């Protein structure tokens, strides 16, 4: 029986729908991203994690979001171009979504409940909040935006 996370679908940045069930059996690092954020350089660290562990089953999933300081104003083409040209992003990127509020993507509604933040708060506080999901689709941990991707490696390795 697959976990609830595998029941979601999302639109890919390049177009088309992607079933998260396609990632069953993989370790996932799900991140809400932005191109004009103080944490934007984390794209490099996320790509490095993906390159380091993808052969062992890690997939980083990027979800652009414009809800924090309007730091992701571009359209899909602009986002894709920025990520590729500046950080060589090769991990799957999805269409821009909302992570908070009544229009929050169902995946993020689930993630926030499965791994609340500090003091049980569910809301995403800023761009580059990260969720680590095991091979069974269970949410293992939530990381603050300031947590550098390389700092998560020690948590990823046992799951691979």
Q: Provide mean pLDDT across the span 62-78.
A: 93
pTM of the model: 0.94
Residues 17 and 59: their CA atoms lie apart, in Å, by 17
Q: Provide mean pLDDT across the span 106-129.
A: 88
| DSSP 3-state of 6 | helix
37 in active site: yes
Residues 92 and 94: their CA atoms lie apart, in Å, by 7
Q: Is the Cβ–Cβ distance between 38 and 69 less than 8 Å? A: no
50 contacts: CB under 8 Å, gap ≥ 6: 58, 59, 60, 90, 91
* Assigned CATH for 4-159: 3.40.30.10
pLDDT at residue 1 in the model: 37
Q: Please identify which of the residues 10, 13, 20, 37 carries the catalytic annotation.
A: 37
| DSSP 3-state of 41 | coil
Q: Provide mean pLDDT across the span 66-94.
A: 93
Residues 57 and 15: their CA atoms lie apart, in Å, by 24
The answer, yes or no, to whether residue 2 has pLDDT greater than 50, is no
């Amino acid at each position: 029986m697959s976990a609830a996370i595998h029941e979601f679908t999302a639109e890919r940045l390049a177009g088309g729908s992607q079933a998260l069930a396609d990632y069953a059996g993989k370790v996932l690092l799900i991140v809400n991203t932005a191109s004009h954020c103080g944490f934007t350089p984390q794209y490099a660290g996320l790509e490095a994690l993906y390159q380091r562990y993808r052969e062992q089953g890690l997939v980083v999933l990027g979800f652009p979001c414009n809800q924090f300081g309007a730091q992701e104003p571009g359209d899909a083409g602009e986002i894709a171009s920025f990520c590729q040209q500046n950080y060589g992003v090769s991990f799957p990127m999805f269409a821009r979504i909302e992570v908070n509020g009544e229009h929050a993507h169902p995946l993020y509604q689930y993630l926030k409940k499965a791994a609340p933040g500090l003091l049980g708060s569910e809301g995403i506080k800023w761009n580059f909040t990260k969720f680590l999901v095991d091979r069974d689709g269970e949410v293992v941990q939530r990381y603050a935006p300031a947590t550098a991707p390389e700092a998560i490696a020690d948590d990823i390795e046992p799951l691979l």
